[in-house]
Chains A and B, each alone.
Chain A
């Protein structure tokens, strides 16, 4: 949680897209930006990149105002996936309310996924977040490509973790909204448990999710 000001009725939350390099974190955000209505979200801010690789982070903010007047801002960030930017990943992870782990479905990248996930666990503990209590959603991206690990196998591997696992192709635009929705619901539930969003601020879960995920009409 970045900020909660009860007097100003202001709540700022953070959702972080984590994962190995080139797994499609920025593409996920671009896809959200394209598919969701402008109402309820801000512009996508891409900080400096080198050769199209994120070196700082990307940011896409979402807004929601509850009937009680509570203004909720959800800031969605990506981290740089390259191993060398570990310090930046750690900085972005600070005070996260939820994490979306974008994994690469390619068979050749399974080791990299595991390394990155271990890195996530380590960095979460270093910034003082307990992975068991943090809403975490796993997305296997690039499902459109040949040479990916079959879904059944991925589910068999990741099922025991108890984490929501979703298949997607950010490039083709499917699975991205579902992933985002699962993450937003997780974040809402976690924050609700801490602050009593529904009871004290009359924030409805469905309203909140619907407000953030307003699909652009074709």
Chain B
């Protein structure tokens, strides 16, 4: 900031002394010309009759002849021209008048020049002050804009952070939604074996009662010590009544079924656990083919009717990544494929190593994606599904996960014919 210096302030109209208007140097040539014309002493006196300029000398005995004429400033006598001679000179009066006029002209012109200079100076000062002011205002506004720009950066940072939080929350929600969807399928899958295990156990409990009864009969008859033939007859009869031959055969079947059911449930739970990867997000080695197989198995209940699954999964070297994220990505891609047709889906899943990359292709023979929508499929919240049935985050999340694992995703679609989604991932060292 520039501090304005205090101005030299002129007040127009301020009274001026003669000495301010003319200087001795300006006056002396005029007075000297008087001396040349025979005048002994010439002087310009100021308001207080003190000489501003004085030339010549008076001889002893003083000057017998003198003329004193006023010099006016703004209409007021502000000084006088004093001429002294030893004797009355010819033309003394005329010389005096001439000199007075000359002095008066000098004084008036000097005064005019002073006044215009003063006005001019105050105008210059004022415009300088205005410039300083303008400059200060400009600097002020520049500073404001700079602050604004800085604030803007901060705001952008804030919003970006908020977006990140919201985005990760969405990601989480998406994951939860997928898990929920899977869980619903799983519940159904678990319910079936649970149902027949329950019913089998119920039957087995009845069988067990009959077997107990039979054993007790044997026990009692042996303790009574009857004839062997009689025991054989009595027990044989009872055994037939209780249909124990059938019961024993059927029990084995029932238990075998229960065991199978438990195994199915165990498999499903293992899949769920693998899918949800509830244990941490650190980088882990992942067998992609195994994960894909598990995913497909897990998603099987959601296959539309008459689905034909064609897999060509060649063994792949392990991928180091955040396993849950990548599994989620493939789940989302598969989910899209499953929803591409209401029935007669032909789903092809293949994996291959090409050069330094892994390539996984997932193709369907579904409706395909219209060309105008294709560029938008990775946009967050872009969905063509009815409100409530799709978040529009599936492919966004998928790409996010794949890109963060150093890979890429490419979607090729032919409307009416189907869509192929190709994921490439780097070979881990």
CB B4 to nearest CB in A, in angstroms, measures 16
Q: Are B123 and A43 in contact (CB under 8 A)?
A: no
Closest to B10 in A: A91
Cβ contact of A95, chosen from B13, B112, B119, B126, cutoff 8 A: B13
Cβ contact of B13, chosen from A2, A87, A90, cutoff 8 A: A2
Q: Are B75 and A43 in contact (CB under 8 A)?
A: yes
**B111 partner residues in chain A, CB cutoff 8 A:** 45
Say yes or no: is A42 at the interface (Cβ < 8 Å to chain B): yes
Do A87 and B126 form a contact, CB below 8 Å, given A42-B76, A47-B112, A57-B119? yes
Closest to A94 in B: B11
Say yes or no: is A48 at the interface (Cβ < 8 Å to chain B): yes
Contacting residues of chain A (34-55) with chain B, CB-CB under 8 angstroms: 41-43, 45, 47-48
Closest to B118 in A: A91
Interface string of A87-108 (1 = CB under 8 A from B): 1101110110000000000000
Say yes or no: is B127 at the interface (Cβ < 8 Å to chain A): yes
Say yes or no: is A25 at the interface (Cβ < 8 Å to chain B): no
A87 to B121, CA, bound (A): 11
Cβ contact of B119, chosen from A3, A41, A43, A91, cutoff 8 A: A91
Say yes or no: is B122 at the interface (Cβ < 8 Å to chain A): yes
Say yes or no: is A59 at the interface (Cβ < 8 Å to chain B): yes
Say yes or no: is B72 at the interface (Cβ < 8 Å to chain A): yes
A15 to B366, CA, bound (A): 98
Contacting residues of chain B (103-148) with chain A, CB-CB under 8 angstroms: 108, 111-112, 115-116, 119, 122-123, 126-127
Q: Are B116 and A56 in contact (CB under 8 A)?
A: yes
Q: Are B11 and A56 in contact (CB under 8 A)?
A: no
Q: Are A73 and B115 in contact (CB under 8 A)?
A: no
Q: Are B12 and A91 in contact (CB under 8 A)?
A: yes
Q: Are A45 and B11 in contact (CB under 8 A)?
A: no
**B74 partner residues in chain A, CB cutoff 8 A:** 42-43, 45, 59, 61, 75
A73 to B72, CA, bound (A): 14
Cβ contact of B122, chosen from A2, A12, A61, A87, cutoff 8 A: A87
Q: Are A77 and B13 in contact (CB under 8 A)?
A: yes
Tell me what chain A mostly uses at the interface: helix, strand, loop, or mixed. Answer: mixed
Q: Are B12 and A92 in contact (CB under 8 A)?
A: yes
Contacting residues of chain B (1-40) with chain A, CB-CB under 8 angstroms: 10-15
Say yes or no: is A142 at the interface (Cβ < 8 Å to chain B): no
Interface string of B190-215 (1 = CB under 8 A from A): 00000000000000000000000000
**A42 partner residues in chain B, CB cutoff 8 A:** 72, 74-76
A73 to B126, CA, bound (A): 29
**B11 partner residues in chain A, CB cutoff 8 A:** 2, 94-95
Q: Are B14 and A91 in contact (CB under 8 A)?
A: no
A: interface residue count bin: 20 to 34
Do A45 and B119 form a contact, CB below 8 Å, given A63-B75, A77-B12, A91-B12? no
A48 to B119, CA, bound (A): 12
* Chain B count of residues within 8 A CB distance of the other chain: 20
Q: Are B116 and A61 in contact (CB under 8 A)?
A: no
**B119 partner residues in chain A, CB cutoff 8 A:** 47, 56-57, 88, 91-92
A63 to B12, CA, bound (A): 18
Interface string of B276-306 (1 = CB under 8 A from A): 0000000000000000000000000000000
Contacting residues of chain B (250-268) with chain A, CB-CB under 8 angstroms: none
Contacting residues of chain B (202-238) with chain A, CB-CB under 8 angstroms: none
CB B32 to nearest CB in A, in angstroms, measures 28
Q: Are B76 and A48 in contact (CB under 8 A)?
A: no
Q: Are B127 and A87 in contact (CB under 8 A)?
A: yes
**B12 partner residues in chain A, CB cutoff 8 A:** 57, 77, 91-92, 94
Cβ contact of A88, chosen from B13, B72, B75, B123, cutoff 8 A: B123
**A91 partner residues in chain B, CB cutoff 8 A:** 10, 12, 119, 122-123, 126
Contacting residues of chain A (168-186) with chain B, CB-CB under 8 angstroms: none
**B75 partner residues in chain A, CB cutoff 8 A:** 41-43, 61, 63
A91 to B119, CA, bound (A): 7
**A95 partner residues in chain B, CB cutoff 8 A:** 11, 13
Q: Are B116 and A48 in contact (CB under 8 A)?
A: yes
Interface string of A149-160 (1 = CB under 8 A from B): 000000000000
**B76 partner residues in chain A, CB cutoff 8 A:** 42, 61, 63, 73
Closest to B14 in A: A2
**A2 partner residues in chain B, CB cutoff 8 A:** 11, 13-15
- List 28 contacting pairs A-B, 8 Å CB cutoff, sorted by A: A2-B11, A3-B14, A3-B15, A42-B74, A42-B75, A43-B74, A43-B75, A45-B74, A45-B111, A47-B119, A56-B115, A56-B116, A57-B12, A57-B119, A61-B75, A75-B13, A75-B74, A87-B123, A87-B126, A88-B119, A88-B123, A90-B126, A91-B119, A91-B126, A92-B12, A92-B119, A94-B11, A95-B13
* New contact pairs (11) apart from A45-B112, A92-B12, CB-CB < 8 Å: A42-B74, A45-B74, A47-B115, A47-B116, A57-B12, A61-B74, A87-B122, A91-B122, A91-B123, A92-B119, A95-B13
What 8 A-B pairs have minimum CB-CB distances, sorted nearest first?
Answer: A42-B75, A87-B123, A2-B13, A91-B122, A87-B126, A61-B74, A61-B75, A75-B13
